[in-house]
């Protein structure tokens, strides 16, 4: 059996068995057919979740060198954002976008961190971002 698309209920409902004009025939009851269509539609929705689980499993099983390379790349991104924030603070031109970008990068990086010292460092970065955000709100309100 080949499945060409996951068109939902409409595609599954089009293939109902019809009795033929001769001898004994087979017909599905209408109640059973509706339940089968609903079951097929529900199973089609799970395919996306399964592929996401497979992707996450592949990422979890990557070799240590790849994992280290990705961690270094994320750390470099955070350091670049912090450098930009430092320059903006010195110039007196901190933007909410820079602070949001930093907070988002820290949140994304936090999910893959197991080291307590690194967790503490990320907490400090988040605290600094919150302080800069509060200073910016006070300056805009004044």
CA nearest to 99, candidates 122, 128, 62: 128
Cα(136)–Cα(13) distance, rounded to whole angstroms? 58
Q: Which of 13-27, 84-98, 125-139 has the lowest mean pLDDT?
A: 13-27
- String of DSSP letters for 43-96: HHHHHHHHHHHHHHHHHHTS-HHHHHHHHHHHHHHHHHHHHHHHHHHHHT---H
CA nearest to 82, candidates 115, 140, 136, 126: 126
In the predicted structure, residue 81 carries a pLDDT above the cut 60: yes
Between 109 and 40, residue with greater pLDDT: 109
Contact indicator for 39, 48 with CB cutoff of 8 Å = no
Cα(63)–Cα(54) distance, rounded to whole angstroms? 16
pLDDT of residue 11: 46
Q: Count CB-CB contacts under 10 A for residue 12.
A: 19
Angle (CA) 78-71-115 rounded to 5° is 95
Contact indicator for 125, 78 with CB cutoff of 8 Å = yes
pLDDT of residue 4: 58
Between 50 and 105, residue with greater pLDDT: 105
pLDDT of residue 132: 85
**pLDDT tens sequence across 51-80:** 666 666 666 666 778 878 888 888 899 899
């Amino acid at each position: 059996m080949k499945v060409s698309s996951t068109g939902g209920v409409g595609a599954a409902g089009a293939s109902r068995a019809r009795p033929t004009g001769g001898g004994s025939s087979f017909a599905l009851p209408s109640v059973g057919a509706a339940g089968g269509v609903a079951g097929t539609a529900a199973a089609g929705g799970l395919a996306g979740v399964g592929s996401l689980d497979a992707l996450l499993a592949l990422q979890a099983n990557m070799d240590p060198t790849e994992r280290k390379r990705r961690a270094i790349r994320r750390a470099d991104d955070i350091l670049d954002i912090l450098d930009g924030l430092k320059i903006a603070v010195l110039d007196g031109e901190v933007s909410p976008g820079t602070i949001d970008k930093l907070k988002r990068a820290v949140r994304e990086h936090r999910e893959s961190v197991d080291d307590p010292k690194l967790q503490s460092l990320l907490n400090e970065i988040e605290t600094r971002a919150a302080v800069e955000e509060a200073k910016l709100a006070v300056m805009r309100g004044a």
